[in-house]
């Protein structure tokens, strides 16, 4: 009984976070596609509805829900999960030159950030614009109301996707019921629209459309925007909850609504080119109520991309492709429920600037779709590689699946390219900037790691150096902090510190603070203490993603196992900051060195995580010179 209630609550929460973008597409997708339709006959609405419905079934149901969402990495979804699967035991951060498939996946992930900027802006703006259908004199208030709503939406992100999903889920359930019932009422008045369920109407529309088909598909693709966020948000609620919500609630409601919109277009052909969604209800108060509900739904729709961007950023950080941002885990049950304050407000600023710059959902629609379709194509290619390289299936199966998926998606991608001059360049520009940041951070870290491993960093070498008497020893404890469980990384930092300071404390502790995929780890399993020599220890302190790493407390607990009393008030913690300077090689040009320096200086400071008193911190720059 308890598990059943938990499953139901996850399904409702998933409605509030995952399906908002796809669920609010009827506001603009059908109308945009109908406006681009090459036909003006009575059959045009049937063809458009058929194209949208079968696109939902083929791309969302067959590709993502049934296939791609099976490719998770420790429960996490999104395109970076595919990168983690393909990277295997050799993660990207361990390579200097990345293979082409990794570069492709990184660019696909970067495109999601561009989409994440546009989705909240166009979703909220399209709903608030419905006010002019109720009272044209309110059009001057559309932009201020949109900006205020977006600002409030980003302000509540700190509460986490779990509580927000529970709050938004009930509203979205009511929204989907409204979509379904509104569509059903219209279908009953024009039952011939059910013919749109025949895929031949979709094929006929494409076959006879000529060059205009490209513009038509550019409108149809708006119905599946948000599908990459659906995959990226899998870590928030899990695949079963998302699958149940899609099959039982979202898909039936969308099919009924798109059929209902086609019925309106057939019954009122003269009014079918503008404001068709709000014609589902009578004018007056019902229209106002639908505008208010649509505004709430689009606010929630923005949550899908925002939480998806949070998940992708946290995954990129774990893969060593982005600097350490402060990540707040908001759930002990779902590892993927995270909040990133810095990313949240950068995204908010981008959305507000987009609304101010484009000023209408029609203008924003020109920039919408290209990033989504490009990411969909990259995901299909990456999934084919996972099938062959990770799941060990015959190459012809992976190639066949990839070919089928690309046949579905490449026409949408090519049609979206037509939007590039009219705003489609924006998500590409955002993706290019993110790509430059990821490549720069990865390359700098890889070069520093290579130099670190080339230094004399064995335990025996360190012990011999400490016993030689060449290094002065003073009373107290020195703690070298790293995030890698292998001691050689801390030893390399220790040699660098000895070279700079010329002395060491009598007691030397190499402290590795290592994160895990579990939410919590008990203290008995958390600590591993290994003596390496006289007054020299290596401590590995594991922590779950919901646990804090309090370095002084860990040191106190470890000292009980070391058989040596350590006064934490007299200990100094050495935390190197990694920089690239005076590099004369060809791998990193000057602009990348400067950018890497900016990223290193602005990453979240380690003592903020580890609760180290500022008076006990010794920080130095780890300089790469070659």
Residues 322 and 385 in one domain: yes
The answer to the question of residue 482 being in a domain is yes
Return left, alpha or beta for 59; rule: phi > 0 is left, psi -120 to 50 is alpha, else beta. Answer: alpha
Question: Which pLDDT value is given to residue 108?
Answer: 86
Start-to-end CA distance of the chain, whole Å, equals: 64
Question: Which pLDDT value is given to residue 221?
Answer: 87
What is the CB neighbour count within 10 angstroms for residue 283?
A: 11
* Angle ∠(238,244,246) on CA atoms, nearest 5: 100
Residues 393 and 429 in one domain: yes
pLDDT digits (tens, 9 = 90+) for 413-430: 988 888 888 778 888 888
Residues 222 and 269 in one domain: yes
3-state secondary structure of 531: strand
Q: How far apart are CA 362 and CA 452, in angstroms?
A: 53
The answer to the question of residue 574 being in a domain is yes
What is the CB neighbour count within 10 angstroms for residue 59?
A: 21
Residues 396 and 479 in one domain: no
Phi, psi of 309 (to 5 degrees): -65, -40
Residues 87 and 160 in one domain: yes
The answer to the question of residue 425 being in a domain is yes
Residues 397 and 251 in one domain: yes
Question: Which pLDDT value is given to residue 410?
Answer: 92
pLDDT digits (tens, 9 = 90+) for 182-221: 999 999 999 999 999 999 988 888 887 777 788 888 889 8
Cβ-Cβ contacts under 8 Å for 269 (sequence gap 6 or more): 42
DSSP letter, residue 619 = E
Phi, psi of 586 (to 5 degrees): -105, -5
Q: How far apart are CA 105 and CA 429, in angstroms?
A: 17
Residues 246 and 175 in one domain: yes
pLDDT band at 557 (very low <50, low <70, confident <90, very high): confident
The answer to the question of residue 484 being in a domain is yes
Q: How far apart are CA 167 and CA 300, in angstroms?
A: 10
For 71-75, the CB contacts below 8 A with 24+ separation are 71/383, 71/386, 71/390, 72/234, 72/235, 72/239, 74/335, 74/517, 75/234, 75/235, 75/238, 75/334, 75/335, 75/336, 75/517
Question: Which pLDDT value is given to residue 246?
Answer: 93
Q: Which of 197-201, 519-523, 539-543 is modeled with the greatest confidence?
A: 197-201
DSSP letter, residue 529 = E
Q: Residue 296's domain spans which residues?
A: 2-443
Question: Which pLDDT value is given to residue 271?
Answer: 52
List beta partners, residue 529.
Answer: 539
- pLDDT at residue 22 is higher than 70: yes
Q: How far apart are CA 56 and CA 377, in angstroms?
A: 16
- pLDDT at residue 41 is higher than 60: yes
Alpha helices in 455-505 (DSSP H): 459-467, 487-501
| 88 to 64, 74, 81: CA distances (angstroms) | 22, 12, 11
pLDDT digits (tens, 9 = 90+) for 591-624: 887 788 777 766 655 555 677 777 777 766 555 5
Q: How far apart are CA 226 and CA 588, in angstroms?
A: 36
- pLDDT at residue 56 is higher than 80: yes
Residues 268 and 308 in one domain: yes
Question: Which pLDDT value is given to residue 89?
Answer: 43
Q: Pick from 418, 443, 468: which residue ends a domain?
A: 443
Q: Pick from 385, 416, 443: which residue ends a domain?
A: 443
Q: For residues 467 and 34, which has the higher predicted lDDT (pLDDT)?
A: 34
Tokens of 296: 């709430």
Q: Pick from 443, 475, 503: which residue ends a domain?
A: 443
Question: Which pLDDT value is given to residue 394?
Answer: 93
Which helix or strand (DSSP H or E) is residue 593 part of? helix 590-602
pLDDT digits (tens, 9 = 90+) for 347-406: 888 888 888 887 777 677 667 778 888 889 999 999 999 999 989 999 999 999 999 999
pLDDT band at 285 (very low <50, low <70, confident <90, very high): confident
The answer to the question of residue 452 being in a domain is no
Residues 472 and 600 in one domain: yes
List beta partners, residue 578.
Answer: 622
Q: How far apart are CA 443 and CA 448, in angstroms?
A: 9
Q: How far apart are CA 477 and CA 256, in angstroms?
A: 70
List beta partners, residue 245.
Answer: none
Full DSSP string of 323-352: -----EE--SS-TT-EE-HHHHHHHHHHHH
Q: For residues 224 and 448, which has the higher predicted lDDT (pLDDT)?
A: 224
The alpha carbon of residue 59 and the mean position of all alpha carbons in its chain are separated, in whole angstroms, by: 19
DSSP letter, residue 282 = -
Query: Which CATH number fits the domain that encloses residue 49?
Result: 1.20.1740.10
Residues 437 and 471 in one domain: no
DSSP letter, residue 469 = S
Question: Which pLDDT value is given to residue 117?
Answer: 79
Cβ-Cβ contacts under 8 Å for 598 (sequence gap 6 or more): none
Please choose, from the candidates 77, 108, 94, the residue with its C-alpha nearest in 3D space to the C-alpha of residue 450: 94
- pLDDT at residue 51 is higher than 50: yes
Mean pLDDT of 485-514: 77
Mapping DSSP onto H, E and C, the string for 559-580 reads HHHHCCCCCHHHEEEEEEEEEE
Question: Which pLDDT value is given to residue 327?
Answer: 63
The answer to the question of residue 134 being in a domain is yes
| 272 to 31, 133, 490: CA distances (angstroms) | 8, 14, 68
The answer to the question of residue 28 being in a domain is yes
Q: Which of 96-100, 191-195, 490-494, 593-597 is modeled with the greatest confidence?
A: 191-195
Minimum mean pLDDT range among 270-284, 486-500, 595-609: 595-609
The alpha carbon of residue 618 and the mean position of all alpha carbons in its chain are separated, in whole angstroms, by: 35
Residues 417 and 477 in one domain: no
By percentage, how much of the chain surpasses pLDDT 90?
16
Please choose, from the candidates 304, 323, 303, the residue with its C-alpha nearest in 3D space to the C-alpha of residue 313: 323
Residues 390 and 497 in one domain: no
Q: How far apart are CA 416 and CA 410, in angstroms?
A: 10
List beta partners, residue 539.
Answer: 511, 529
Question: Which pLDDT value is given to residue 577?
Answer: 64
Q: How far apart are CA 149 and CA 108, in angstroms?
A: 29
Number of domains in the chain: 2
The answer to the question of residue 526 being in a domain is yes
- pLDDT at residue 498 is higher than 80: no
């Amino acid at each position: 009984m308890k598990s059943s209630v938990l499953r139901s609550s996850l399904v409702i929460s998933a409605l509030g976070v995952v399906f908002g973008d796809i669920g609010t597409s009827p506001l603009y997708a059908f109308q945009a596609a109908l406006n681009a339709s090459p036909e003006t006959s009575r059959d045009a609405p049937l063809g458009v509805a058929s194209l949208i419905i079968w696109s939902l079934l083929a791309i969302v149901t067959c590709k993502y829900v049934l296939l791609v969402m099976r490719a998770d990495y420790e429960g996490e979804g999104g395109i970076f999960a595919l990168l983690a699967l393909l990277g295997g035991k050799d993660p990207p951060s361990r390579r200097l030159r990345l293979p082409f498939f990794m570069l492709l996946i990184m660019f696909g992930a970067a495109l999601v950030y561009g989409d994440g900027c546009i989705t909240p802006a166009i979703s909220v703006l399209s709903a608030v614009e419905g006010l002019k259908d109720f009272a044209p004199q309110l059009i001057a208030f559309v932009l201020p109301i949109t900006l205020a709503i977006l600002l409030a939406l980003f302000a509540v992100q700190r509460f986490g996707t779990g509580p927000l999903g529970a709050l938004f889920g009930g509203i979205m359930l009511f929204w989907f019921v409204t979509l379904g019932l509104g569509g059903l009422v219209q279908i009953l008045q024009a039952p011939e629209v059910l013919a749109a369920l025949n895929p031949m109407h979709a094929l006929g529309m494409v076959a006879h459309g000529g060059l205009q088909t490209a513009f038509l598909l550019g409108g149809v693709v708006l119905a599946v925007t948000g599908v990459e966020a659906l995959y990226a948000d899998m870590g928030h609620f899990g695949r079963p909850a998302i699958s149940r919500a899609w099959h039982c609630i979202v898909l039936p409601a969308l099919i009924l609504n798109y059929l209902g919109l086609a019925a309106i277009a057939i019954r009122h052909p003269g009014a079918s080119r503008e404001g068709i969604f709000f014609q589902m209800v009578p004018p007056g108060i019902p229209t106002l109520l639908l505008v208010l509900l649509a505004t709430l739904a689009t606010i929630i729709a923005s949550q899908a991309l925002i939480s998806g961007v949070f998940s992708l950023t946290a995954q990129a950080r774990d893969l060593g492709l982005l600097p350490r941002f402060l990540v707040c885990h908001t759930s002990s049950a779902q590892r993927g429920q995270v909040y990133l304050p810095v990313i949240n407000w950068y995204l908010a600023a981008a959305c507000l600037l987009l609304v101010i710059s484009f000023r209408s959902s029609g203008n924003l629609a020109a920039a919408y779709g290209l990033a989504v379709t490009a990411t969909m194509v990259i995901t299909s290619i990456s999934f084919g590689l996972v099938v062959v390289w990770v799941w060990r299936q015959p190459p012809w199966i992976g190639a066949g699946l990839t070919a089928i998926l690309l046949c579905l998606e490449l026409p949408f991608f090519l049609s979206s390219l037509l939007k590039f001059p009219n705003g489609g360049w924006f998500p590409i520009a955002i993706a290019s900037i993110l790509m430059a940041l990821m490549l720069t951070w990865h390359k700098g870290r890889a070069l520093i790691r290579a130099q670190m491993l080339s230094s004399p960093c064995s335990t025996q070498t360190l012990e011999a150096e400490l016993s030689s008497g060449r290094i002065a020893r003073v009373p107290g404890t020195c703690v070298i902090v790293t995030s890698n469980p292998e001691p050689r990384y801390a030893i390399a930092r220790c040699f660098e510190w000895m070279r700079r300071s010329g002395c060491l404390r009598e007691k030397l502790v190499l402290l590795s603070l290592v994160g895990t995929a579990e939410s919590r780890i008990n203290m008995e399993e958390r600590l591993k203490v290994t003596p390496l020599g006289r007054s020299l220890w290596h401590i590995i302190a594991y922590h779950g993603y919901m646990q804090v790493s309090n370095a002084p407390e860990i040191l106190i607990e470890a000292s009980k196992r070391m058989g040596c009393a350590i006064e934490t008030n007299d200990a100094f913690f050495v935390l190197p900051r990694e920089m690239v300077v005076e590099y004369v090689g060809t791998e990193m040009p000057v602009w990348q060195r400067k950018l890497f320096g900016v990223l290193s200086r602005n990453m979240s400071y380690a003592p903020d995580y580890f609760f180290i008193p500022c008076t006990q911190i010794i920080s130095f720059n780890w300089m790469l010179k070659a």
